[in-house]
Structure 1
Amino acid sequence: MKKKSLWIITALMTFALLGVFVMQMYYIRESYNLKSQLFEQNVNQALVAVVNKIQKQNVIHRINQKDNEFKQLEVSSIRSKTDSIVSFKVKFKENEIQRKLKQQQQILAYLNFQDSIINANYLQPQIISEEDYAILSNPNPNDNTLTYNINELRTKDGRVVSRQLSSSYVRKRPVIKLNNLPDSIIYLALSPTDLRPQFITLPSIDPDLKVRFKMEDAKAEHLYKVELERLYADTVNIFANGRNVMLLQDVAKEMANKDVPLKDRMPSQEVVDTLIKAELLSKNIDLDYNYWVTPSRNAGKVIYQNVSLPTGDVMPKNTFSKVIFGNDLLTKDPGMLYISFPSKNSLIFNNMFVTLVSSVGLLLVLISIFAYTIYAIIRQKKLSEMKTDFINNMTHEFKTPVATIMIASEALKDPDLTPDKARVNRLAGIIYDENVRLGSHIERVLNVAKLDNKELKLGRSPVAMNELISLVVDSISLQLQKKNAELVLVLDADPDVVIGDELHLSNMIYNLIDNANKYSPENPKITVKTKNLANGIGIEVQDEGIGMTKEQTKRIFDQFYRVPTGNLHDVKGFGLGLSYVNDIIKQMNGTIRVQSEKDKGTTFVIHLPIN
C-alpha cells in the first residue's frame, strides 16, 4: 500500500471517529438537559406538596388548639354531671345487693318450710344429688344396690316401742348454695305406711316467687337505664348544639388575623424537615439538601435552617424556592421556603450511568478498532517490505551457489579435464559444498515455516551444553578465522545437562555466534559463557560489535527483520536467525533477552530449565 493511500485512509477513519465522538457528546448533553429538567420538575412538585401540607398543618393546629379549649370547658362543666352519674351507679348497686339479699332470704324461708313439711310426713328424708338420683332410679333392679334393714325395739308383751331403718346406701350429702341452686331438689325418704323408699322432688324456687323476682329485676333495670340515659343526655347536650359553629368561627377569626407572626403559623422544624425529606424521597430524590425558611420581605432573617444561609442575597447554585402561604390573601407575610442541592449533578450522572458507560464503551471500542487497524496496516506494510527484502536476499543467497554449481558442472563437461583427477575432485568438492550450503539455506527456511505452523517437534534427550558449544565452535572455526576473530569460552556450568533437542540447540548457538561474527568489525572479540542458575543453566553470547539501539532491540526477534548496517552490504542473511532462536527457546520453556549499546556491542542472555 502506498504511503499516500495510508494517509487518506487514516484521515477518513479519524474524521469518522470524530463524527461519532461529537454525536455521542451531543446525545449525552441532551440527555443531561432532559434529566435536569425532570429533576427541577420533581423538586418543584415536592415543594408544592410540602407547602400544601404546611398550610394544612397550620389549619389543623388552629382547630386542635380551639378544640382543646372547648374540651377543657366541657370537662369542667360536665364534671358535676359525671359525679352524679357515678353516685347513681353506686346507689343502684347497693339497692341491687339489698334486693338480691331479700330474695335469697325468701328462697331460704321457702326451702325451710318445704323441708319441715317433708320431715313431718316422711321417715328419714335426705337430700340427694342428681347423679345419685340417676343411679337409684335405674329401672333394672339388678343394678340397684340399695338394700334396707329394719331394727325394732319391742316390750315383753310384744308392743313396738321404736323402729329404725338402715340401708347399705351411704353417700355424701350434697351442699345446697343459694346463689347457685339447681332447678329442683330431690329427697330420698321412707313411706310412713310401708317403709318403702321413695323420691320426693320439689322446685328449688317457688314459681310464684320466681315470677315476682323477675318482675322486680326487670323493673329495677328499666328504671336504671332510663335514669342513666337522662343523665348522659344532659351531659352531652351541654355544648353539642353550638360547639362546631363556635369552633369554626373562632378559627376563622384567628386565620384572618394579619399580625400573627410567620413562626407561629409554621409547624416545628422537625416536622418541616420530615415533610421535605418524605416528599423528595417520593420523587426518587435521595440527595443531601440545605433548606431555609425566611420571611418573604426579609430573606436574611432565617426562621428555620439546617445550614447557615450564605451571606448576602445571592442564593447558592441549584436553589429552588416556593411561597409558603401564597394562597392566603389576608396573610401579612406569606413566607418563603428555599431548598438547594449541592450535589445535584451527582444524582443526574448516576441516572445517566448506563448511558455514559455505553457511550464511553462504544467510543473505546471504536478507538481500539481504529488504532488496531492503523497498527495492522503499518505492520503489514513493514512486513511486506521485509518480505521483499527477504526475497531479494534469498534470491542472492541461492543464486551464488547455483551459479557456482553451474560453472563447476560446465567445467566437468570439458573432455580435457577428465584425465586431471585432482582438478575433477576439486570441482566435485566445490559442487558438494555449494549444494550443502544451498540445502542449509532451504532447511533454515523450512524450519522457520514449521515453527510458524506448530509442526516442528523437538526431541527430548539429555544434552551437555558445554560439549555442544565446543562442537559448534569447532564447526564455525573457519568462518571465525577468515575475520581473525578471538573467541573466549568460559564454560563454568556444572552440571551442564539439559533436556532438549541437540540439533536445534546447536543451530541456536551457531546462529548467535555467527551473528556476533557478522555484525562485528575486523578482529571480532566474542565471549561465550555458561553458568548454573537456581533452576536452570544460563548461556551468554557477548560481542564488541556495532551494537543496536533500543528501538532495534525491540524488533530483532521479528521474522525478516535485519539490523541496518549503513552503507555496508557485506552482512548477508534472511532475517530469520534470531526469530528461529527465539521460537526454539520458547518451545523449551526458556527465555532470551538482549542487552546492547550502539557501537559498544551486544550480549544475548539465555535461560534454559534443567528439566
Structure 2
Amino acid sequence: MKKRSLWIITALMTFALLGVFVMQMYYVRESYNLKSQLFEQDVNQALSAVVNKIQKKNVIRHINQKDIEFQELEVSNIRSKTDSIVAFKERYKENKARRRMKLQQQILQYLNEQDSIIHSNYVKPQIISQEDYAILSNPNPNNKNTLNYKIDEFRTPDGIVLSRKLSSNYERKRPIIRLDKLPDSIIYLALSPADLRPQFIILPTMDPDLKTKFELEDVKAEHRYKMELERLYADTVTLVGNNGRNVMLLQDVAKEMANKNIPLEERIPSQETVDTLIKRELLSKNINLDYNYWVTPSKNTDKVIYQNVSLQEAEILPKNTFSKIIFSNDLMIKDPGMLYVSFPNKNSLIFNNMFVTLISSVGLLLVLVFIFAYTIYAIIRQKKITEMKTDFINNMTHEFKTPVATIMIASEALKDPDLNADKARINRLAGIIYDENVRLGNHIERVLNVAKLEKKELKLERQPVAVNELISLVVDSMSLQLQKKDAEVTLALDAEKDVLIGDELHLSNVIYNLIDNANKYSPSNPKITIKTRNHANGIDIEISDEGIGMTKEQTKRIFDQFYRVPTGNLHDVKGFGLGLSYVNDIVAQMNGSIKVNSEKDKGTTFTIHIPFKLNN
C-alpha cells in the first residue's frame, strides 16, 4: 500500500471517528438538557405540593384552634353538669344510707319488743341457729339429737310448789345475729309455761307492714333518682348539633383567615415542618440532594423568615434556585410570602442519572478509538511485513542466484572436453557444485523450518544433550567461517551439570545462528565470548560480541520474521531475517527463554535459559 493511500485512509477514519465523537457529545448534551428539564419539572411539582400542604396546614391550624376553643367551652359546660350529676348521685347515696339506717333501727326496735314478749310469755327462751333447728326438729331423731329436759320441784310439806329447777342436754352455742346480715327469721327454743314442754318459736326478722312501707319508699326514691338523672344527662348534650357546630366553626375560621393583618410568620408552620415537607416531597420525586431553602415576604426579600443557609449579599438568588408563592392571591392576603429552594449539587444528580448513558458513550468511543488505532497499527504493520517480505524475496533470490550461477558455471566447465585429462580440476569443480548444492539445501531447510514453526508442525526430539560438548562442536564446524574474519572466540563453559533433555539438532542450529550473527555483525576481528553456567533448574547459555550493537527500538523487533537490523556501512551481511525468529521459537518450544542486551556500537549479548527437562 502506498503512503498516500495510507494517509487518505487514516484521514477518512479520523474524520469518521471525530464525527461519531461529535454525535455522541451532541447526544450527551441533549440528554443532559432533557434530564435538566425533568429535574426542574419535578422540583416545581414538589414545591407546589409543599405550598399546598402549607396552605392546608394553615387552614387546619385555624380549624384546630377554633375547635379547641369550642371543645374547651363544651368541656367547661360538661364539667359543671358532671359535677351536678356527681353531687346528685352522692345525695342519693346518702339518702339511701339514711333510709337503710332508719330501717335497721326500726327492725332492731321491733326485734327487741318481740324478744321481750317472748321472754315474758315463755320459760327460758333461747335463740338457736338454723342448723340446730333442723337437727332438733327432725321427726326421727337419734339418741344423740334427742332433746331431753329434767324438772326438779321444791314443795312445802303441804304440797305447795316453792320452786322448780330445769336442766336439759342442749348445750349448743347461741348464734350471733347481725343487723346487716339478718336471716329471714329468728328461731327461739323455749318451754311452755303450762306444761314446761319444749317448743320452737319462729319470729320473722321484719314486720311485714314495715317491710312493705320501706320497699315502697325505695321504689319511689329510685324512680325520682332516674328521672332527675336523665334530665341532668340531657342537659349535658350540646344544644348545637354536629352540622351546626361545623358551620359555626368554618364561619369563624373564614373570618380569621380573611384578616389581612395576620403576619406571615403566624400563617406558615414551623421551620422544622417546612424542612420536613420539602424533604418528603423531593424524595417522592426521587431527588435525594442537599438543598438550601429560605422563606421571605414577597414584597421585602431582604427579610428572611426561615433559612437553613446564610445568604451573601451578592448571592441573593444562587444558581439552580426555584421559587414559589406560598399563599395564592385569591385569599386576598396582604403578603403571600415566597419559598426559595436551591440545589448546589444539581449536576451531580443529573450525571448520576446519566451514568449508564455516559458509560455507554465513553465505552463506545473507547472501542472505536481502539479499533481505529488497531486498524492503523495493523495497516502499518502489514505494510512493514510486506516490505520485509519483499526484501526477503529479494535476498532469497540473491542467495539462490549466486549458488545456482556458480553451479551452472561449474557444470559448463565440466562439459569442456579438454578437462577430461585434468582430474584435479574436475574434482575441484565437482566440490564446488557439491558445496553450492549444500548451501542451497541449507537455505531451503531454513525456510521450511520457519514454515513448520509457524504451523506448529515442528516436533522436537527428546534425548540427552551435553551442552558444553555441543557448543564446542558447533564452534569447530564454524572454524573456517570464523577464520575468514579472524574472529577470536572465547569459551567459558562453566556449567558443571550440562546435560539436558532436548533436541540436539535444533539446539545446535540455535547456537550456530547466534554465533553466525555475532560474526557477521562485527566489522573486523570479531571478539565472541560463549559462556555456560548452571542456574536454578536449567542451564544459561550466553553469547556476546563487540559488534555494531543495536538500539532499544531494534532489540524489540529482532525476533520478528523477516526483520533485519540495518548494518550501516557493512554491505556484506546477508540473510533472510529468519534466524532470530527461528531461535526464539525453538527456545520457546524447549520451555526456555531468551533475553538480549545490546548497546549501539558496543556489542550485543544473548542469554538463553533452557530447563533440564521439557514439559509434557
Q: Hey, what's the Cα distance between the residues in 1 that align with 2:525 and 2:251?
A: 123
- Residues 458, 84 of structure 1: alpha-carbon distance in 2 compared, 3 angstrom cutoff: same
Corresponding residue for 2:28? 28
Corresponding residue for 2:435? 433
- Residues 216, 519 of structure 1: alpha-carbon distance in 2 compared, 3 angstrom cutoff: farther
Q: 1:441 is matched by which residue type in structure 2? A: H
- Residues 220, 530 of structure 1: alpha-carbon distance in 2 compared, 3 angstrom cutoff: farther
Corresponding residue for 2:172? none
Corresponding residue for 1:39? 39
Corresponding residue for 2:559? 557
Q: 2:584 is matched by which residue type in structure 1? A: N
Corresponding residue for 2:483? 481
Corresponding residue for 1:572? 574
Report Cα offsets for 1:425-463 as digits up to 9, x if no partner.
222222222221111111111111111011111222332
Secondary structure in structure 1 of the residue aligned to 2:327: coil
Moved more, 437-446 or 92-101: 92-101
Moved more, 371-380 or 270-279: 371-380
Report Cα offsets for 1:378-420 as digits up to 9, x if no partner.
1111111111111111111112222222222333333433343
Q: Hey, what's the Cα distance between the residues in 2 that align with 1:556 and 1:217?
A: 131
Moved more, 596-605 or 224-233: 224-233
Q: Hey, what's the Cα distance between the residues in 2 that align with 1:581 and 1:99?
A: 134
Cα offset for 1:596? 1.8
Alignment counterpart, residue 470 of structure 2, candidates 468, 471, 477:
468
Report Cα offsets for 1:38-70 as digits up to 9, x if no partner.
100000000000011011111111221222223
Paired residues of 1:291 and 1:340 also in contact (CA < 8 A):
yes
Alignment map for 1:253-272 (pairs within 5 Å): 253-272=255-274
Q: 1:597 is matched by which residue type in structure 2? A: E
Q: 1:286 is matched by which residue type in structure 2? A: N
Paired residues of 1:328 and 1:334 also in contact (CA < 8 A):
no
Specify the structure having the higher radius of gyration (Cα): 2
Alignment counterpart, residue 593 of structure 1, candidates 586, 595, 614:
595
Q: Hey, what's the Cα distance between the residues in 1 that align with 2:378 and 2:527?
A: 40
Corresponding residue for 1:190? none
Q: Does 1:526 align with 2:542?
A: no
Moved more, 425-434 or 284-293: 425-434
TM-score by length of 2: 0.77
Corresponding residue for 1:513? 515
Cα offset for 1:97? 10
Q: 2:5 is matched by which residue type in structure 1? A: S
Corresponding residue for 1:237? 238
Secondary structure in structure 1 of the residue aligned to 2:314: coil
Corresponding residue for 2:82? 82
Percent identity between the two aligned chains: 79
Report Cα offsets for 1:191-224 as digits up to 9, x if no partner.
xxxxxxxxxxxxxxxxxxxxxxx99999999877
Paired residues of 2:258 and 2:331 also in contact (CA < 8 A):
no
Secondary structure in structure 2 of the residue aligned to 1:528: strand
Alignment counterpart, residue 123 of structure 1, candidates 122, 134, 139:
139
Secondary structure in structure 1 of the residue aligned to 2:313: coil
Cα offset for 1:72? 2.2
Q: Hey, what's the Cα distance between the residues in 1 that align with 2:604 and 2:134?
A: 145
- Residues 386, 96 of structure 1: alpha-carbon distance in 2 compared, 3 angstrom cutoff: farther
Paired residues of 1:516 and 1:545 also in contact (CA < 8 A):
yes
Moved more, 412-421 or 440-449: 412-421
Q: Hey, what's the Cα distance between the residues in 1 that align with 2:301 and 2:522?
A: 88
Paired residues of 1:299 and 1:313 also in contact (CA < 8 A):
no
Cα offset for 1:120? 10
Q: Hey, what's the Cα distance between the residues in 1 that align with 2:3 and 2:320?
A: 54
Cα offset for 1:31? 1.0
Q: Hey, what's the Cα distance between the residues in 2 that align with 1:407 and 1:216?
A: 167
Cα offset for 1:285? 0.8
Corresponding residue for 1:537? 539
Secondary structure in structure 1 of the residue aligned to 2:563: coil
Paired residues of 2:74 and 2:238 also in contact (CA < 8 A):
no
Moved more, 45-54 or 76-85: 76-85
Secondary structure in structure 2 of the residue aligned to 1:301: coil
Q: 2:297 is matched by which residue type in structure 1? A: P
Alignment counterpart, residue 315 of structure 1, candidates 292, 296, 317:
317
Cα offset for 1:298? 2.5
Q: Hey, what's the Cα distance between the residues in 1 that align with 2:272 and 2:541?
A: 81
Alignment map for 1:184-333 (pairs within 5 Å): 227-237=228-238, 243-312=245-314, 314-327=316-329, 329-333=331-335
Paired residues of 1:310 and 1:316 also in contact (CA < 8 A):
no
Q: Hey, what's the Cα distance between the residues in 1 that align with 2:133 and 2:91?
A: 40
Corresponding residue for 1:183? none
Secondary structure in structure 2 of the residue aligned to 1:592: strand
- Residues 391, 313 of structure 1: alpha-carbon distance in 2 compared, 3 angstrom cutoff: closer
Paired residues of 1:465 and 1:498 also in contact (CA < 8 A):
yes
Q: Does 1:339 align with 2:355?
A: no
- Residues 419, 48 of structure 1: alpha-carbon distance in 2 compared, 3 angstrom cutoff: same
Q: Hey, what's the Cα distance between the residues in 2 that align with 1:341 and 1:501?
A: 75
Moved more, 445-454 or 429-438: 429-438
Q: 2:36 is matched by which residue type in structure 1? A: S
Q: Hey, what's the Cα distance between the residues in 2 that align with 1:122 and 1:277?
A: 93
Q: Hey, what's the Cα distance between the residues in 2 that align with 1:570 and 1:226?
A: 143
Secondary structure in structure 2 of the residue aligned to 1:19: helix
Alignment counterpart, residue 412 of structure 2, candidates 410, 413, 420:
410
Q: Hey, what's the Cα distance between the residues in 2 that align with 1:487 and 1:228?
A: 137
Q: 1:540 is matched by which residue type in structure 2? A: E
Q: 1:123 is matched by which residue type in structure 2? A: P
Q: 1:68 is matched by which residue type in structure 2? A: I
Secondary structure in structure 2 of the residue aligned to 1:537: strand
TM-score by length of 1: 0.78
Corresponding residue for 1:367? 369
Paired residues of 2:321 and 2:340 also in contact (CA < 8 A):
yes
Q: Hey, what's the Cα distance between the residues in 2 that align with 1:222 and 1:405?
A: 156
Paired residues of 1:300 and 1:313 also in contact (CA < 8 A):
no
Q: Hey, what's the Cα distance between the residues in 2 that align with 1:435 and 1:218?
A: 153
Paired residues of 2:523 and 2:570 also in contact (CA < 8 A):
no
Secondary structure in structure 2 of the residue aligned to 1:530: strand
Q: Hey, what's the Cα distance between the residues in 2 that align with 1:402 and 1:224?
A: 149
Corresponding residue for 2:51? 51
Q: 2:55 is matched by which residue type in structure 1? A: Q
Moved more, 218-227 or 267-276: 218-227
Corresponding residue for 1:10? 10
Cα offset for 1:499? 2.6
Corresponding residue for 1:184? none
Moved more, 460-469 or 222-231: 222-231
Q: Hey, what's the Cα distance between the residues in 1 that align with 2:561 and 2:395?
A: 14
Report Cα offsets for 1:486-508 as digits up to 9, x if no partner.
11122222222333211111111
- Residues 3, 312 of structure 1: alpha-carbon distance in 2 compared, 3 angstrom cutoff: closer
Q: 1:447 is matched by which residue type in structure 2? A: N
Query: Alpha carbon RMSD of aligned pairs, Å?
Result: 3.7
Cα offset for 1:587? 1.5
Alignment map for 1:132-143 (pairs within 5 Å): none
Alignment map for 1:144-183 (pairs within 5 Å): none
Cα offset for 1:90? 5.7
Alignment map for 1:444-455 (pairs within 5 Å): 444-455=446-457
Cα offset for 1:566? 3.2
Q: When the two structures are aligned, how many residues end up with a matched partner?
A: 532
Q: 2:253 is matched by which residue type in structure 1? A: V
Moved more, 341-350 or 397-406: 397-406
Q: Hey, what's the Cα distance between the residues in 2 that align with 1:10 and 1:540?
A: 44
Cα offset for 1:308? 1.4
- Residues 386, 81 of structure 1: alpha-carbon distance in 2 compared, 3 angstrom cutoff: same
Q: Hey, what's the Cα distance between the residues in 2 that align with 1:603 and 1:49?
A: 81
Corresponding residue for 1:163? none
Q: 2:234 is matched by which residue type in structure 1? A: A
Q: Hey, what's the Cα distance between the residues in 2 that align with 1:272 and 1:603?
A: 81
Secondary structure in structure 2 of the residue aligned to 1:321: strand
Secondary structure in structure 2 of the residue aligned to 1:450: helix
Paired residues of 2:584 and 2:594 also in contact (CA < 8 A):
yes
Alignment map for 1:382-421 (pairs within 5 Å): 382-421=384-423
